[in-house]
Amino acid sequence: MASCPLFLMTPRYPAALVDAGHYPPLAGSADLPTSRRPRPRPGRRYGYRCNSSSSSAPRDRPPRPRQQRQRSQRPGSRGDAVDPVGFLAKLGISDRAFAQFLRDRHKALKDRRWELCSRFIDLKEASSGFELLGMHRHRQHRIDFMEWAPGARYCSLVGDFNEWSATENCAREGHLGHDDFGYWFIILEDKLRDGQEPDEYFFQEYNYVDDYDKGDNGVDAEEIMHRMKEEYWEPGEIRSRKSQLEMVVKLYEQMFGPNGPQTEEELGEIPDAQTRYNEWKALQKADSSSLSPSYDIIDNLQPFDIFNVVTDRASFEKFQAKKPPLAYWVEMRKGRKAWLEKYVPTIPHKDKYRVYFNTPDGALERVPSWATYVLSDAEGKQSYAVHWEPPPEEIYKWRFGRPKVKGSLRIYESHVGISGSEQKVSSFQEFTSKVLPHIKYAGYNAVQLIGIVEHKDYSSVGYKVTNYFAVSSRFGTPDDFKKLVDEAHGLGLVVLLDIVHSYASADELVGLSLFDGSNDCYFHSGKRGHHKYWGTRMFKYDDVDVLHFLLSNLNWWVTEYQIDGFQFHSLSSMLYTHNGFSTFTGAMEEYCNQYVDKDALIYLILANEMLHDLHPDIITIAEDATFYPGLCEPTTQGGLGFDYCVNLSVPEMWLWHLENVPEREWSMNKIMKVLVSRNQNMLSYVENHNQSISGRKSFAEIILNSGKFLIRSVDDGLMEASLLKIIKLITFTTSGGAYLNFMGNEFAHPNRVEFPMSSNDYSFRLANRQWELLDKGFHKHFFDFDKDVMSLDENERIISRGSPSIHHCNDTSMVICFTRGPFLFVFNFNPEVSYQSYHVGVDEAGEYQVILNTDETKYGGRGELKSSQYVRRTCDKRVDGCRNSLELSLPSRSAQVYKLVRILRI
């Protein structure tokens, strides 16, 4: 081995990998919209509430809600003490330049928060743009449309509803045009049917969805107002509303009589306040028939404060029992039947539309950036948005709640389009009915979906995203995807989404590139706005409106589709101006030099803070080939706030060994160093979609077809490879609480994935999964093994325990032994030699029993380990620096999991 890859060189935290191995996209090589609620428009500035200081502390302040107190005490939440460099001591990092970089980044983070809050109040508001932007049904028989395009000088909607006319329903300066921040606003009034009269009241509202027939009882507005006055208001409570001066005149007459003084001389001397108050109090006691509440202001020479106002208990309880008279107003709101009888929807359900811009460089038609459903035309050249507003009886109704992960995270990574056996693009419905039950049966508790967000180029695997708020129409409708997520929840599976906020498609007809005619709307201008190798566009993370778009996109998928978490794809592409294509040595200077994008780091911090504050059970996973320090540390301690980060070193290490090193020359020490060097909060896997896409082979294909490994025949003439089983088992049992498997690899899928493209004549031959192999030969044995491994973790919580403790790692014998809690894991990687009496050390004396053996015949093994050898008792012989040892039988190329079932006290 003359050369050694980078992942085997530097044991120091944090070691790194070159991102060049992480492939780029392949191209060329249920309710009414919440916007019905009145909300502020983007771009408007808001004041802050201030607590004026007082010499006396307020009394009887209401306690904070229990949920809010718990959230502030969550580790890493904003309630913790903030230390911008707090995680450095925990990780043992002492680098003055990096510490100063973290302090500077924290200052910039505070400035960015101030910018956001000056526009959107808080992170919740900044991440709720989908409630206002895009197309939404309004309560007043109309549709509101809002779009951000600061470079345009004229904006309108064109589509089937107005015969694609650019002059109707337009928004321009002076006519519901754009604000100072470039947000365009368009109102589309519903069309009045022939013979119908407009509504009598301009504020007439309609209930389109919830109880959509309620209000169609024809109650007159005058009758409603009369009932409100008689039933809600007490006698005399609303008299003062009739005249602003009536109460003033009445008080004047009480003090001075009907013919009061007209000048100051006639007025004379006014009694002091205490005297006037005593006279008024005596009058109140005499007038026992008064029904108005008696509020007294206690003047004890302290500054006035609302907490100094007291009242008698009866009046207070009466006031508290009152509810706002909304019920009367809601009753006046008409229902869906009345709306359909009087109006024709301005844009019917499933109508096509686009947004039209007039720019300094000419006219443009674009798919709206906040569109929730996008289709391409018959020729596949131009796309258009689809107005998705199904009638209430067709709206998908959620049946199941969100499940919670207990213990470890066992993720089944899937791509809907290639999930079927046929040579075609599979659908959401097919995935729901066929694949989801298999995932549950296989023992996984999470499904991670890639390629879900709308993308024009299918061969890009879904990573060249064009429309960030739309599910891919080639798989089905938005309601089809909701059903997929709902059924997954019903099976106890959490649903994770592979989200691509590190770059975007450069398509100018469908995507965000040159959206408003300018080159710097969503993306950087110049070279920085283009990925160095992949031809994609790079977001401008220092722009408040871009942050508004990206944060809202994350919140949209959680709110609209009940997504349980995200894997942030290819963070190294966004964290560095060289897009991660640089040689990393692990030196701290590489994480704080001029090539680091501080704005991208700040965005990730804000994204994690927003997601975990609004959705406490959310799961966020970072995919970063450079292992940026602090990925999974709390944001209050200088970290980025992720729950897990992907250990990309592991699959690269296995691939390098399989392709370049003879099996007999594998180094056990180097393998274990990569597996456990970054164990905490690490998601590990043997291979995901990367290892079998973009011209590469799956591991099963390498082992079964290369001819470099010793293989044996099993039933049906298929070949078995025990090596793949022990590779999967050791990767799983050393992971840091999370493990991932790509669709089909649980039964050792023999073929790679190849999406249809020009190089293969757009063939679907390898763009599917061969599910028929589940019941055949080696593939059946391997699936049974994988299922039992997942069940073992479900029952014993193996990978959610502490980090592995390595007792034995011998390059000569090729044997590895380590413990994790009460479990002992023994691996014999030797392809030729079996050991009948092999001693390994253990700390705890007792009886150890085999609970999993890769060499069993039901897994396609030889069954060399007999049932009488499944229970072993320790002896007091010191081995591997441990007080006790076990004498084990180790078949070649096999692994066993022992559990301490009985402790012996000496």
User: 542, 496 in Cβ contact below 8 A?
Assistant: no
Angstrom CA distances, 26 to 185, 342, 380, 458, 581, stand at 38, 52, 19, 9, 17
Q: Are strands 805-810 and 815-820 parallel, antiparallel or unpaired?
A: antiparallel
Distance CA 9, CA 644 (A): 24
Q: Quote the CA–CA distance of 648 and 22 in Å, as a whole number.
A: 9
Question: Cα–Cα distance between 833 and 836 in angstroms, integer?
Answer: 10
Cα–Cα distance measured from residue 14 to residue 23, given in angstroms and rounded to the nearest whole number: 22
Spatial contact of 803 and 680, defined as CB atoms under 8 Å apart: yes
Rounded-to-integer distance, Cα 174 and Cα 423, Å: 54
Residues known to be catalytic:
623
Name the token pair of 544: 């408040």
Peptide bond into 84 cis (omega under 30): no
Rounded Cα distance, 211 and 724, in Å: 57
What is the total residue count of the chain?
906
CB under 8 Å to 453, separation ≥6 — which residues?
Answer: 462, 465, 467, 468, 470, 471, 472, 497, 499, 500
Q: Of 409, 505, 442, 461, nearest to 690 (Cα)? A: 461
Structure tokens at 508: 């100018």
With beta carbons less than 8 A apart as the criterion, state whether 567 and 643 touch.
Answer: no
Question: For the purposes of burial, counting CB atoms within 10 Å of the CB of 163, is it exposed (0-12), middle (13-18) or buried (19 or more)?
Answer: exposed
**Residue written as tokens 């080939």?**
625
The dihedral region occupied by 895, where left means phi > 0, alpha psi between -120 and 50, and beta the remainder, is: beta
Could you tell me which residues come within 8 angstroms of residue 295 by beta carbon, excluding any fewer than 6 positions away? 309, 310, 311, 315
C-alpha to C-alpha distance for 563 and 491, rounded to whole angstroms: 15
Question: Quick one: DSSP state of residue 320?
Answer: H
Helix (H/G/I), strand (E/B), else coil: 550: helix
Find out whether 505 and 520 touch, Cβ atoms under 8 Å.
Answer: no
Alpha-helix runs per DSSP H in 491-587: 544-561, 572-575
CB 333 within 8 A of CB 206: yes
Q: Is 505 helix (H, G, I), strand (E, B) or coil?
A: coil
Report which residue type is found at 587.
Answer: A
Bridge partners of residue 887, in order along the sequence: 839
Residue 233 neighbours by CB under 8 Å, 6+ apart: none
List the structure tokens of 838. 């092999």
Residue 370 burial by Cβ neighbours in a 10 Å radius (0-12, 13-18, 19+): buried
Residue type, 434: K
Nearest partner of 436 among 393, 460, 400, judged by Cα: 400
Structure tokens at 113: 């928060």
- d(Cα 380, Cα 61) in Å, to the nearest integer? 62
Phi and psi of 47, rounded to 5°? -85, 165
58 vs 282: CA distance, rounded Å? 30
Count CB-CB contacts under 10 A for residue 90.
12
User: Are 552 and 610 in contact, with CB atoms under 8 Å apart?
Assistant: no
Distances (CA, A) of 827 to 518, 664, 724, 733: 59, 14, 12, 11
